[in-house]
Amino acid sequence: MEILRCEKVSRIYGFGDSQVKALDGIDLSVEAGEFIAVMGPSGSGKSTLLHLLGSVDRPTEGKILVEGQDISRMNPAQAALFRRRKAGIVYQFYNLIPTLTAEKNILLPLALDKRKPDPDFFRKVTDTLGIRHKLDALPGQLSGGQQQRTAIARALICRPAILLADEPTGNLDRKNSREIVELLKLFNRNYGQTILLVTHDEKIGLEADRMITLEDGRIVSDEKKGAAGIRQMQEGR
């Protein structure tokens, strides 16, 4: 089942001679339950694409559909509601609120939406991520790996349609990076969580079931693990 579709999505910054085309006519289809890595050099448009998919930013041209809903023209209030309910976002630098405990950080999206947590699901998520014993700690009392696990729990607590991870291992050492990737794979495999992960690390990218490469704002390769070669070559589309 298709969960996300991009149709001719472009993002242009600036005006006149100073215009920069960060994304150029992106066509993309994501099926429910996929684990996708988006790769490419700095400035290729990876993070811009993720921000558009999470409704943090809006495309200049084109359409983005998530579960059939067009998110590309949402107003700020609609976009905020979409992020709380449909798109879990994980950032490189965690973005935890320093004055809230780990538990309150995790439950914040539900609190903002005035929804009660599912105790069983909360326990499963925090147990799986290995942070149940740290729920009373403030972010400053947690290691980098524990902070990122807390951020992942926050992104998953609303059971989003898609989890968007922007360089989630970029601020971690090799050991913690590996553990975070394994945890994401576990949630993908055991819970059917659709994941789109942006990374510059090819070793991490190869852990995904599908690897998309961007260059100059365009998809130049789209390869599914196990397939004989490349699924799509979209350069110049």
Q: Give the amino acid at 226.
A: G
pTM: 0.89
For domain 2-224, which architecture applies? Answer: 3-Layer(aba) Sandwich (3.40)
Distance CA 208, CA 204 (A): 7
User: What sign has the CA pseudo-torsion 96, 131, 126, 189?
Assistant: positive
Rounded Cα–Cα distance for residues 88 and 101 (Å): 19
- Sequence ranges of the domains in the chain: 2-224
Q: What Rg, from alpha-carbon coordinates, does the chain have?
A: 18
Judge whether 122 and 114 are in contact, CB under 8 Å: no
Predicted confidence pLDDT, tens digits, the chain (237 residues): 999 999 999 999 998 888 999 999 999 999 999 999 999 998 999 999 999 999 999 999 999 999 999 999 899 999 999 998 999 999 988 899 999 999 999 999 999 989 999 999 999 999 999 999 999 999 999 999 999 999 999 999 999 999 999 999 888 888 989 999 999 999 999 999 999 999 988 889 999 999 999 999 999 999 998 644 444 433 433
Q: How far apart are CA 3 and CA 5, in angstroms?
A: 7
